[in-house]
C-alpha cells in the first residue's frame, strides 16, 4: 500500500469535511480514524477512488461521533444524510490547513505536532515515537492544540512566516522512531511549494535539500559528530545539491530576498566547494551580512564571525566575535576554534573544554572534549 499517497490525501479530505460543516478538530479526528481503517483494509481490498473512499469513511465517522454527542446531550443535530462514496470535490485546502495548523495562537511544539498529524498524515504514535515521548503525552499536546483552534474558521489562518518556521523546526528535529522527520519536512515543503509561488517557500525547500545532501557525512561510527571541515564530501548527494541550487536560483531571480534564501545561498557555497580551504568565504561573509540585515539574529552574527575568521584571518574573526553576546550557545566553541587558528593553543584547549561542559547534546559534548584533547597534544611553537 502507498502510505505516501495516504498522507498526501489527508489535507484534502479534512478540507471536504470542514466544507460540509464539521469543525476542524472533529474533521481531523474522523480522518485519522479513516486512515487507521485504510491501513487495515487497503492492502487486501484497495479502493478504485482512494480520496472518495477516505471522504466517505471519514464523514461516516464524523456523523457517528456527532450523533453520539447529540444523544448524550439529549438534543438532536440537523445533519445531512451520508453521501455515497462518489468522486470527492477537487478543491484543495492543503495550503489553508498549513496556515491553520501553524496558527500564531499555538506554541511551536503544538504547531509542529498538529502539522505532522493534520497535514502530514502521521499518527499520534508515529509523532510520539519521532519525538521520543509517550504516546499519551503527544495525544494531550495535539488535543490542547485543537482546543485552542476551536472556533477559528478555516479562512482566517496564520501567516506564511509561521508556517515556514514550523516546517524548519520539523526538519531540524532530524529523525527518530519509525519516521524520518527531516525527510517528512522536505515532503511537506515540496507540497507547499507546489501550492504557492512565494520565493521564501522555495528558499526553505532549497535550504533543506542542501543540508540533507550532506547528511551521510555528518556523523561517524557510534554517532560521532563530524564537523564540516572533516566531512567526506564524496558522500554528499550531488543530485540533491543540484536540485537545491536550481530551486534557489529560480527563487533569487524573483528579487524578493528573504532569510531562507540567504541561508540557502550560504549552504550552496559550502556545497559547491571541493574543500573548506577552497570555499568562497568572502562571498559567504557577504551573504551573512544580508542575513544579518534581514534578521538581526545574534546566532547569525556568531556564524558570520566564524566566516570572517576564515575569509580574513582568525584575529578578524575574534574581533567580530567580540560583538556577539558571550552567553550565546556555541560562542565558546567558536572562540576556541578561532584561537586555535590564531596559534593560541593553550587558550583554545581551555575554551574547547569549557564549551564541552555547557554543550546541549552528547555528540556535541564528546566532539568538543576530543577537540580539547587534540589541541592539548599539538606541538607548541
Q: What is the pLDDT of residue 32?
A: 87
Is 216 domain-assigned? yes
Going by pLDDT thresholds of 50, 70 and 90, the confidence category of residue 211 is very high
Same domain, 12 and 65: yes
In this structure, the chain runs to a length of 381
DSSP state of 158: -
Helix, strand or coil for residue 179? strand
Same domain, 98 and 179: yes
Is 129 domain-assigned? yes
Is 291 domain-assigned? no
Q: C-alpha cell of 250?
A: 529560480
Same domain, 215 and 252: yes
Q: What is the pLDDT of residue 179?
A: 67
As a whole number, mean pLDDT of residues 303-329 equals 96
Instruction: Tell me the pTM.
Output: 0.78
Please name which of 34, 96, 86, 108 lies closest in space to residue 64, comparing C-alpha atoms.
34
DSSP state of 44: T
Q: Is the pLDDT of residue 93 over 70?
A: no
Measure the CA–CA gap between 381 and 177, rounded to whole angstroms: 49
Same domain, 219 and 163: no
Structural contact between residues 221 and 170, judged by C-beta atoms closer than 8 angstroms:
no
DSSP state of 175: -
Any idea what the Cα angle at residue 80 is, between residues 76 and 85, rounded to 5°? 135
Q: What is the pLDDT of residue 336?
A: 97
Identify which has the larger pLDDT, 288 or 110. 288
Is 252 domain-assigned? yes
pLDDT over 90 percentage in the chain:
48
Is 178 domain-assigned? yes
Same domain, 99 and 128: yes
As a whole number, mean pLDDT of residues 62-87 equals 59
Is 87 domain-assigned? yes
Give me the DSSP letters along 214-278: TGGGSB-GGG-B--GGGS-GGGS-HHHHHHHHHHHHHHHTT----HHHHHHHHHHHHHH-SSSTT
Measure the CA–CA gap between 19 and 330, rounded to whole angstroms: 48
Q: What is the pLDDT of residue 150?
A: 78
Q: Is the pLDDT of residue 111 over 60?
A: yes
Same domain, 72 and 133: no
Same domain, 100 and 63: no
Q: Which of 171, 191, 211 is the last residue of a domain?
A: 191
Is 37 domain-assigned? yes
Chain-wide mean pLDDT for the chain? 86
Q: Which of 273, 302, 327 is the last residue of a domain?
A: 273
Identify which has the larger pLDDT, 96 or 213. 213
**Cα torsion 119, 125, 131, 135: sign:** positive
Going by pLDDT thresholds of 50, 70 and 90, the confidence category of residue 79 is very low
Same domain, 184 and 203: no
Is 290 domain-assigned? no
Q: What is the pLDDT of residue 76?
A: 43
Same domain, 35 and 88: yes
Going by pLDDT thresholds of 50, 70 and 90, the confidence category of residue 71 is low
Our count of domains for the chain comes to: 3
Measure the CA–CA gap between 375 and 348, rounded to whole angstroms: 7
As a whole number, mean pLDDT of residues 352-372 equals 94
Same domain, 57 and 29: yes
Q: 160: domain range? A: 94-191
pLDDT over 70 percentage in the chain:
89
pLDDT tens, 321-332? 999 999 998 999
Same domain, 141 and 66: no
Identify which has the larger pLDDT, 157 or 38. 38
pLDDT tens, 141-164? 998 888 888 776 655 556 788 889
Q: Which of 243, 273, 303 is the last residue of a domain?
A: 273
As a whole number, mean pLDDT of residues 59-67 equals 86
Amino acid at each position: 500500500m502507498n502510505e505516501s499517497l495516504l498522507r498526501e490525501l489527508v489535507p484534502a479530505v479534512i478540507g471536504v469535511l470542514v466544507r460540509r460543516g464539521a469543525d476542524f478538530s472533529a474533521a481531523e479526528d474522523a480522518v485519522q480514524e479513516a486512515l487507521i481503517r485504510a491501513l487495515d483494509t487497503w492492502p487486501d481490498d484497495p479502493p478504485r477512488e482512494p480520496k472518495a473512499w477516505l471522504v466517505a469513511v471519514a464523514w461516516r465517522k464524523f456523523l457517528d461521533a456527532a450523533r453520539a454527542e447529540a444523544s448524550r446531550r439529549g438534543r438532536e443535530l440537523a445533519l445531512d444524510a451520508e453521501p455515497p462514496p462518489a468522486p470527492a470535490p477537487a478543491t484543495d485546502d492543503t495550503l489553508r490547513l498549513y496556515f491553520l495548523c501553524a496558527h500564531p495562537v499555538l506554541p511551536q511544539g503544538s504547531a509542529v505536532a498538529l502539522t505532522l498529524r493534520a497535514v502530514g498524515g502521521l499518527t499520534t504514535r508515529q509523532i510520539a515515537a519521532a519525538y521520543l515521548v509517550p504516546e499519551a503525552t503527544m495525544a494531550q499536546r495535539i488535543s490542547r492544540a485543537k482546543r485552542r483552534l476551536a472556533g477559528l474558521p478555516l479562512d482566517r489562518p496564520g501567516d506564511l512566516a509561521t508556517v515556514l518556521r514550523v516546517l524548519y523546526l520539523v526538519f531540524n528535529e532530524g529523525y527518530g522512531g519509525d519516521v524520518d522527520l527531516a525527510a517528512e519536512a522536505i515532503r511537506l515543503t515540496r507540497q507547499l511549494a507546489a501550492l504557492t509561488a512565494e520565493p521564501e517557500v522555495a528558499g526553505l525547500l532549497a535550504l533543506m535539500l542542501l543540508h540533507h545532501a550532506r547528511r551521510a557525512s555528518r556523523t561517524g561510527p557510534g554517532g560521532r559528530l563530524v564537523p564540516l571541515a572533516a566531512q567526506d564530501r564524496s558522500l554528499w548527494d550531488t543530485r540533491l545539491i543540484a536540485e537545491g541550487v536550481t530551486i534557489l536560483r529560480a527563487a533569487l531571480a524573483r528579487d524578493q530576498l528573504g532569510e531562507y534564501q540567504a541561508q540557502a545561498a550560504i549552504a550552496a557555497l559550502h556545497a559547491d566547494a571541493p574543500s573548506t580551504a577552497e570555499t568562497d568565504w568572502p562571498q559567504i561573509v557577504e551573504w551573512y551580512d544580508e542575513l544579518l540585515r534581514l534578521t538581526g539574529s545574534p546566532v547569525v552574527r556568531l556564524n558570520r564571525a566564524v566566516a570572517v575568521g576564515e575569509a580574513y584571518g582568525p584575529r578578524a574573526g575574534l574581533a567580530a566575535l567580540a560583538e556577539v553576546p558571550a552567553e550565546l550557545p556555541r560562542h565558546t566553541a567558536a572562540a576556541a576554534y578561532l584561537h586555535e587558528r590564531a596559534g593560541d593553543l593553550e587558550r583554545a584547549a581551555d575554551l574547547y573544554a569549557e564549551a564541552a561542559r555547557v554543550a546541549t547534546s552528547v555528540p556535541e559534548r564528546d566532539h568538543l572534549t576530543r577537540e580539547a584533547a587534540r589541541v592539548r597534544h599539538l606541538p607548541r611553537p
